[in-house]
Amino acid sequence: MAKTCPKCRFENPDNTLYCGQCGAVLKAAEGSDITKTLVSPAEKLQKGTTLAGRYAIIEELGRGGMGVVYKAEDTKLKRTVALKFLPQELIHIPEVKARFMREAQAAAALDHPNICTVHEFDETEETTFISMAYIKGQSLKKKLDSGPLELEEAFNIAVQVAEGLWEAHKKGIVHRDIKSGNIMVTDNGQAKIMDFGLARKTEGTLITKEGSTMGTIAYMSPEQAQGEKVDHRTDIWSFGVVLYEMLTGKLPFRGEHEQTVVYSILKEKPKPVTDAQPEVPVAIEQVINKALEKNPDKRYQQIDDLLDDLKSIAAGIIPEEIKARLRKAKLSKRKRIITVSAMIAVIAILSLFIILRLFHSGDEMDKSIAVVPFHYLSDEPEKQYLADGVMEAILLNLSKMEDLRVVSRTSVEQYRETDKTVNTICQELDVAYLLEGSFQKFGDKAKLVVQLIKPGKERHVWANEYDRNWTEIFAVQSEVAQTVARELQVAIAPEEKQLIEKIPTTNMTAYDAYLHGQFHLDKVTLNDLDTAMRYFELAIVKDPEFAEAYVGIAGVWVWRQQFMVVSADEAAPKIREACEKALELDSSMSKAYEMLAGMHAWGSWDWKVGEEALKKAITTNPNSASAHSFYAFLLSILGRTEEAAGHMELGLKLDPHGLFIKCLYSWYLLYVHRYDDCISVCREVLDKSPDYFIIAQSLYTALFLTGRYEESLEAMELFYKGEFVDFDHAFDQYEKLGYAGTLNLEIDTLLEQSKSKSKSVRPTRLADLYLYTGNKERTLYWLEQAYEMRDLDLPCALTFPDRDILRGEPRYQELLRKMNLPLEK
């Protein structure tokens, strides 16, 4: 039975605990045992306490998810040992006790210098514990607190850990929780693998249910994170994570939240090791990349293969440690050179490193790309809309590929007229490739020139020129996207290929009208909205089954409602009708789902239906930055900020420079009370885009909440002027009138202006101002007026964290109830 992801609605196998589409945590099956840190008992064993008639407690060494560890003296054998105790609250749980015993049995079966020796498993009436060798030193994780290791030390530890794992794997034991915290390094540099608490025999029976996900998230293999069956190759993945961590001081898969870490593990390539540490040989980078292949069949199949590669490379740096038996033909030449002399070996391997860097394997490519705005070839600026349309179509085709990360158009728009280098653009957008292009249409003919560029030496990976009939433009756009995918070795699923090759319309006049309409819609001015509407309507006259044109019409109505030139009652039926028609013609229209979500949630305050629509938007386009960010915003309004965090982080990753995404992010930061971060984000946006007044709303709110009233007034002035509201410079009188006095003077101005239909003021704006003066009565009055007018900003006006003076007010609670928002307690 499939398990549906509650966030993106992706259908996962029943035993999966993390969504394979978005990385979200799925509800565990009843009886599943997901590893979490357990709180060990507060009581400590006192120094001198004797257990089992022989172990004298010396001191506590540490506590973790499966127990507390003490240093003790074995009085019979006169040796220092470490005693690992099962937490008291778990002793009587048979499954946990069995797993604890399994740790002892698994480790006791292993006799190797790089595995911590387990002496015995013992229990008393009160407790259960394992006696193991006491290791004087520190964990690898602790060592890494001071930064990455020197190359020689990292090699030394890596080889030892790999040899310890090889010993375990030969005996059919999989550790399943390899991480830097489970590797101890003695004072003389000997590495020892600890904590076989998750280990099991390859052919053994798993104590926990089949769907259980064990281990530590950041080190989990993709198959382990999804609750699938694992074998020794999951240890190889985790070892690759540790090797990356040793050389860079960072984890390859990171995120502020569990969902984003899992998403990164499932979907993304780690940044190259050599980016952080250029001195690391590229051959080591290749070893790590192969260990971190997401498909277990593409990884090293045995740890000893990886060990051989490590030893071979290490031999060129530390010649006296040449021990490797090279099993691969590609390494045989290197071994012969190494045996001649250490100096020649170093020179030869460095040369090989350079060759490997120049001919980097396609399997190790970072599959991420930005499509920068195309240029129109001739001096006809009025035809730029054609180049923009072709560029956006190719970008959207690429974004339909799940295995490829594509930066949103809003983030690449800033590079339309730029003298920045490819290297700079790729670095700023955090992508591995750029696609550039130029376009021209003359009569019935069209010419498209595209080039795929990789930074570094800004070399062209691929380029082509297409001279085709205008009627073939859809085939050309599809061909470009699929060729780019082949160059980046991106797998295209059959359903993705079908979407990419789909022809939106057979009527080229309709398509030309649509491109005109989209060009004007993107400008978002009232005059351009009217022009866009005329073009979209013309497109539908020419082709009544042109789904994208209906999406365009819905977009016009959304902006008209946002600008308050039409009421919600007038706009909502138009938006619904256009979106539903678009989805009837093409159910993959993610934007249509987004607009339906906005209409239902912000327009009708039906949050459940709005949430379902956003989930569908994410399902149809998992790479939609706007869908993820809007969903985070909706969840924040509903008080579900923990769920919102992962979606907000993904939205920022997919559209790192999008202004509206940053605006949504600033609102999210308000909801989680990160006011200083909110101020920083707003300042950053306004420094780069001073005209983007929308974000000044969250700025003045955050400044008010941090007591920076004069700065709040300055931000408020920027915001209100952006909304076409004239001020009488009362803000200049702050020193004379004070904060509340200044706002009261401005309120008088706004009330006078609101009498003019051409300069109407949102009720929520007046409510904000009255709120900041401390006038609860007038604040509630204008919030109630906003409710009657179905003001789109009312959900924020009721739920932003600056509403403290309203809490407990019956009228405020009634508004929350009528809008289906969580009631304040």
Selection from 467, 441, 450, 470 nearest residue 394 by Cα: 450
Distant-in-sequence contacts of 810-816, Cβ < 8 A, 24+ apart: 811/780, 811/784, 812/780, 812/783, 815/783, 815/784, 815/787
Select from 653, 656, 593, 661 the least CA-distant residue to 626: 661
Closest to 221 in 3D by CA, of 184, 175, 164 = 175
Sign of CA pseudo-dihedral 175, 176, 180, 182: negative
Tokens of 538: 């013309």
**CA–CA distance, 457 with 738 (Å, rounded to integer):** 58
CA distance 792 to 794: 6
Residue from 122, 145, 177, 388 carrying the catalytic annotation:
177
What is the length of the chain? 825
| Residue 768 annotated among the catalytic residues of the structure | no
> What are phi and psi for residue 604, nearest 5 degrees?
-110, -5
| Separation CA 480–CA 635 (nearest Å) | 37
Number of neighbouring beta carbons within 10 Å of residue 316: 23
Owner of token pair 């480790």: 107
Residue entry with tokens 């240890």:
235
**Orientation angle between helical segments 547-562 and 508-521, nearest 10 degrees:** 20
**Nearest in space to 22 (alpha carbons), one of 654, 538, 560:** 654
At a CB cut-off of 8 Å and minimum separation 6, what does 231 contact?
174, 202, 296
- Would you give the distance in Å from CA 467 to the centre of its chain? 39
- DSSP characters over 559-593: HHHHTTSS-HHHHHHHHHHHHHHHHHH-TT-HHHH
DSSP structural state of residue 294: S
- Of 152, 328, 143, the C-alpha closest to 249 is 143
Q: d(Cα 312, Cα 789) in Å, to the nearest integer? A: 73
CB atoms closer than 10 angstroms to residue 136: 10
Helix ranges (H only) for 586-624 are: 590-598, 607-620
Q: Which residues are catalytic?
A: 177
